[in-house]
Amino acid sequence: MGVVELKPSLIGNGWLPAFLVSIVLGVAIQLWMSRGGVGGNLQAPELSRLPNHVFDSFNVSEVDEHIRVLASDEFEGRGVGTIGEEKSTRYIASMLMSRAFQGGAAHGNGIESFFQLVPLQGVFTKTSSYINFLKADGSELNLRHGDSVALSTDHREGNVLHLEEEEVFFGGYCINASESAHRWNDFDGVDVSGAVVVCLVNQPRQDDSFGGKDAALTYYGRWTYKFEELRRQGAKGALLIHTNESAGYGWSVIGCWADTENVRLDPLPEQGKGLAVRGWISATAIDQVVPLGTAGLIDEASKRGFRARKLQLIVGADLRLTRRFFAGTNVVGVLPATCEGSTTDEEAVILTAHHDHFGIAPDAVSHSDCGESSGEVEHERPEEDLIYNGALDNASGVGKLLSVATFFGSLERKGFCTRRKLVLVTPTAEEAVLLGSSYYAANPIAAPLEKTVAMMNFDGMNIWGETEDVVGLGAEFSDIQRLLEASAEDEGMVVSGDAEPLQGLFYRSDQLPFARAGVPAVKITHGKSYVGKDEGYFDRVVGDYNQHRYHQVDDDYEYIQSHENAYEGATQELKVSIRLLYRLLNGSGRPHWKPEHAFAKAQAELLGE
């Protein structure tokens, strides 16, 4: 490793404090001086268990500093494609450089070698847009965009889009899971190509096909899956029926979506021509045009054997749009394998933590209403504060990722090596439905996906105290579970299941694109059993955050600092995560999805099995 050079542009523009520059240079020099003396003494224990003494000097104070910097007003809320994101990505890349990581991109030198540009398009639907339903009796229902309906399009070009007299199908839950253990296919023998399809969100819950009423939400229940499946079916349009119960949030979330720019990858990666019209429609509106009503449709679609059917409706639409094209930036750093003679040094383990947030608010829109929190909550924003600092979401996750970088970047000095390379990615545009991670999964630059044995994701941090348990969202679907259990046991903890299974949290963060591609994935988060607290403590403190801080300007550094011992829980999370990463980096085999899981087929295809 040569001496790390920090370009003057990184120091002189005022965003990187002078004392941090000295820290960066100091750490870089120490690493450079130390790498030559360990040599053949490096070891990777057969059980891949880190001894406790390697954590003797472990300190999460650097996590606090990273949060303070990234969540400061100077970084302007880290909005995608803004100067705030540029400052953030340069800060993160400089930290990785100082910890012996190399740029993961195949282009550029120095700081630029850490950047992967993500092409994006923003589409805004004007309120003059509308959709019109013609019923069998000749009566009509005309709905304006934002009033019981929210509309957008997959189409990449054109600011005016028309649909005239299109057939409408009811697709039930719009699930095609015929090859999975669920054995469910709403489209079996039915051709909906060229039609507008109305879908229910969530999944059938009236029998045990998907586990029953209280079963965890599967990927087939996610609203994003519905659009993906209808693209595969060749539909011209898709409208998702909204109810508070099935979506898990109120219509105000959809109303906010209607009032803001819809950001997507440019072009969309899905097969087919894309949906000319896609969006949401309220249950109240459906009740006006379908005789069965929403309740009747739910009952019909929940029965095994249901098949999509044509409704006695004709639909037309007129969309007026504005568009802009821009780019976000993924940061990608690589720590090469260090075990001499390793035969798995081209294989990789990925750790992610998205760096983006909502930036500076252009108006009075409350992004908490746009988030998929449970229920509808009114928020008042201080007039003087327009910056969504995103301290817990997700400056904290990036801070934890950089702490992991510090640990593994100095592991050689402690006499330990790794058989696989560690890839750290901070994706852009997670808040716009996982766009940065989706782009990386489709365009991996640090290691091919077939060489990526597993991935882990950080999104948030436990600031409410120590717990007796840790949660690995998605771990139970693959061999990662047993490795996580061993890692938790090393820290005197146990592994618990998802604390909110009906929310489908595994399918709502950056681990999902990797899982869909076949890579076993896990999101590490905290449990519910807080040391010395009553059973309701989790619901109170996490509920308070979700209602009053999540996607609000009040999610700031001061909020984290207001908690006594805010980093005790984070220390637990990090130690378990590091132990799990070490096992993944040094294990002789690779994790596999359980055969019955939806992503097992994707892994088999990825590995040519």
Per-residue pLDDT tens over the stretch 572-608:
999 999 999 999 999 888 999 999 888 999 999 999 9
What pLDDT score does 28 carry? 42
Q: What is the largest CA-CA distance in the chain?
A: 85
Please name which of 101, 526, 159, 165 lies closest in space to residue 335, comparing C-alpha atoms: 101
Q: Does domain 8-100+336-607 have CATH number 3.40.630.10?
A: yes
Please check the confidence at residue 320 and state whether its pLDDT lies above 70: yes
Please name which of 230, 235, 239, 232 lies closest in space to residue 198, comparing C-alpha atoms: 239
Confidence of residue 62 (pLDDT cuts 50, 70, 90): very high
Please name which of 329, 336, 332, 372 lies closest in space to residue 352, comparing C-alpha atoms: 332
What pLDDT score does 35 carry? 36
Please name which of 438, 167, 131 lies closest in space to residue 279, comparing C-alpha atoms: 131
* Total length of the chain: 609
Confidence of residue 504 (pLDDT cuts 50, 70, 90): confident
- CA 56 – CA 357 distance, rounded (Å): 34
- CA 443 – CA 449 distance, rounded (Å): 9
Please check the confidence at residue 56 and state whether its pLDDT lies above 60: yes
Please check the confidence at residue 367 and state whether its pLDDT lies above 60: no
Please name which of 395, 536, 545 lies closest in space to residue 63, comparing C-alpha atoms: 395
Average pLDDT of span 490-514? 92
What pLDDT score does 373 carry? 53
Give me the residue spans of the domains in the chain. Answer: 8-100+336-607, 123-324
Apex CA 327: angle with CA 324 and CA 329, to 5°? Answer: 155
Please name which of 272, 179, 198 lies closest in space to residue 228, comparing C-alpha atoms: 272
What pLDDT score does 23 carry? 40
Higher pLDDT, 314 or 274: 314
Angle subtended by helix axes 396-409 and 61-70, to nearest 10: 130
Q: What is the DSSP letter of 184?
A: E
Please check the confidence at residue 460 and state whether its pLDDT lies above 70: yes
Average pLDDT of span 484-489? 97
Kindly list the distances between the CA atom of residue 488 and the CA atoms of 425, 492, 495, 577, in Å, as whole numbers in the listed order. 24, 6, 7, 9
What pLDDT score does 253 carry? 79
**Beta-ladder partners of 119:** 327
How far from each other are the two terminal CA atoms of the chain, in whole angstroms?
A: 38
For residue 54, the SS3 value is helix
Phi and psi angles of residue 267, each rounded to the nearest 5 degrees, phi first: -85, 170
What pLDDT score does 370 carry? 61
Please check the confidence at residue 137 and state whether its pLDDT lies above 90: yes
- CA 267 – CA 285 distance, rounded (Å): 32
Please check the confidence at residue 20 and state whether its pLDDT lies above 70: no
- For residue range 525-568, list pLDDT tens digits in order: 989 999 999 999 999 998 888 888 888 888 999 999 999 889 99
Element (H, E) at 522: strand 521-526
Cβ(90)–Cβ(576) below 8 Å: no
Please check the confidence at residue 33 and state whether its pLDDT lies above 80: no
Kindly list the distances between the CA atom of residue 217 and the CA atoms of 78, 242, 523, 547, 550, in Å, as whole numbers in the listed order. 31, 16, 16, 22, 22
Beta strand spans in 437-520 (E): 452-457, 469-473, 494-496
Cβ(409)–Cβ(32) below 8 Å: no
For residue 278, the SS3 value is strand
Give percent of the chain above pLDDT 90: 70
- For residue range 385-399, list pLDDT tens digits in order: 789 999 999 999 999
For residue 232, the SS3 value is helix
Please check the confidence at residue 40 and state whether its pLDDT lies above 80: no
What pLDDT score does 211 carry? 87
Please name which of 449, 456, 426 lies closest in space to residue 328, comparing C-alpha atoms: 426
Residue with tokens 């490795």: 483
For residue 162, the SS3 value is strand
- For residue range 273-294, list pLDDT tens digits in order: 789 999 999 999 999 999 999 9
What pLDDT score does 57 carry? 87
- CA 425 – CA 419 distance, rounded (Å): 19
Please check the confidence at residue 1 and state whether its pLDDT lies above 90: no
Please check the confidence at residue 381 and state whether its pLDDT lies above 80: no
- CA 570 – CA 430 distance, rounded (Å): 22
Cβ(424)–Cβ(405) below 8 Å: yes
Least confident of 3-12, 17-26, 76-85, 495-504: 3-12
What pLDDT score does 566 carry? 94
Question: To the nearest whole number, what is the mean pLDDT of the chain?
Answer: 88
Identity at 460, one-letter amino acid code? G
198 dihedral zone (left: phi>0; alpha: psi -120 to 50; beta) = beta
- For residue range 147-205, list pLDDT tens digits in order: 999 999 999 999 999 999 999 999 999 999 987 788 999 999 999 999 999 999 999 99
What pLDDT score does 362 carry? 67
DSSP assignment of 407-436 equals HHHTGGGGTB--SSEEEEEE-S-STTTSHH
Kindly list the distances between the CA atom of residue 364 and the CA atoms of 137, 260, 368, 548, in Å, as whole numbers in the listed order. 42, 11, 12, 16
CATH topology of domain 123-324: Glucose Oxidase; domain 1 (3.50.30)
What pLDDT score does 41 carry? 42
Q: Matching CATH topology for 8-100+336-607 and 123-324?
A: no
What pLDDT score does 111 carry? 87
